Amino acid sequence: MVLERRSAEGNYERFAGIAAELTQSKIDVIVSANNLAIEQLKRATNTVPIIMAPAVDPVQAGLVDSLARPGGNITGFTLDPGPGIEGQRLQLLKEAVPSARRIAYFGTKYEWEEHGSELQSAAQGLGVVVFHMELIPSNYARSIAAEAGDAILASRNGAHFVNRQLVSEISIKRRLPGSFTWRDITEAGGLMSYSADYSDILRRAARYADRIMKGTKPADLPVQQPTKFELVINLKTAKVLGLSVPTTLLARADDVIE
């Protein structure tokens, strides 16, 4: 087996060229973890099997027909476990930072429209106010320079992953605790993350790739939702921010960075 790796290195405009290059070469299956990249791959080919690992809202995004019957040449995994996950992330952030009263949801307009009502409903029960801090992926530094209240709850947008070092540095410099969906940001210096276990998704994607290369059609493999989640807390960052993370929360963490 030969594994070909490609990365746009955060430059989303390169997705089209990468998609064209891969689909025109002798590739048996493509694995991609970004909606915009998968969209370009879908435009480039309707024959080369594509595995989403993972995608966000793939049905609403028009990548597949349905989770049970994806149709076409695309299948894989979604990042969405269903309603309630954003409210749960907000609750965990409030537990970690009990003094927080105003929390910024750091995401695009689309992401705020999608999750804003759920977050505001959860916020009422937690005694906090959640407001939108708009993410503009092409100008990340300017986006994060906006007023962020007492803490930030970052969306699942891949721009946060690409800029993980920047967002971590700014969070510490501004003494701004944050919760993220990518554990890589927590490892880079963010306070905490709660999300699907990406390592588990990639292992499952490898099994899908194996089945496809042995003859199974992507249309016959349902799109799967995440089944494992992980809470990661960076205790070093908490100390820098002057936070004392409750022991009850630390006990529930899957990983604590010390």
DSSP labels, 54-97: EESSTTTTTSSS-SS---TTEEEEES---TTHHHHHHHHHHHH-
Residue 240 banded pLDDT, cuts 50, 70, 90: very high
Residue 221 has pLDDT above 90, yes or no: yes
What confidence tens digit (pLDDT) does each residue in 70-91 have? 999 999 999 888 778 899 999 9
Residue 9 is predicted with a pLDDT of 82
Q: Which of 193, 241, 224 is nearest to 93 (CA)?
A: 193
Residue 144 is predicted with a pLDDT of 87
What confidence tens digit (pLDDT) does each residue in 92-121 have? 999 999 999 999 999 999 899 989 999 999
**pTM of the complete model beyond 0.95:** no
What confidence tens digit (pLDDT) does each residue in 52-61 have? 999 988 998 8
- Cα–Cα separations (whole angstroms), residue 254 to 75, 185, 246: 29, 16, 15
Mean pLDDT, rounded, for 226-238:
94
CATH topology of domain 12-78+198-227: Rossmann fold (3.40.50)
Residue 254 is predicted with a pLDDT of 94
Residue 162 is predicted with a pLDDT of 86
Residue 225 has pLDDT above 90, yes or no: yes
| CB of 157 closer than 8 Å to CB of 137 | yes
Domains 12-78+198-227 and 85-196+230-257 share a fold: yes
What confidence tens digit (pLDDT) does each residue in 128-148 have? 999 999 999 888 888 988 888
Residue 182 has pLDDT above 90, yes or no: no
CATH topology of domain 85-196+230-257: Rossmann fold (3.40.50)
Residue 79 is predicted with a pLDDT of 85
CA–centroid distance for 82 within its chain: 14
Residue 10 is predicted with a pLDDT of 74
| CB of 176 closer than 8 Å to CB of 151 | yes
- Mean pLDDT estimate for the chain: 93
Residue 47 banded pLDDT, cuts 50, 70, 90: very high
- Strand segments, DSSP code E, in 24-69 are 30-32, 50-55
Q: What is the domain partition of the chain in residue ranges?
A: 12-78+198-227, 85-196+230-257
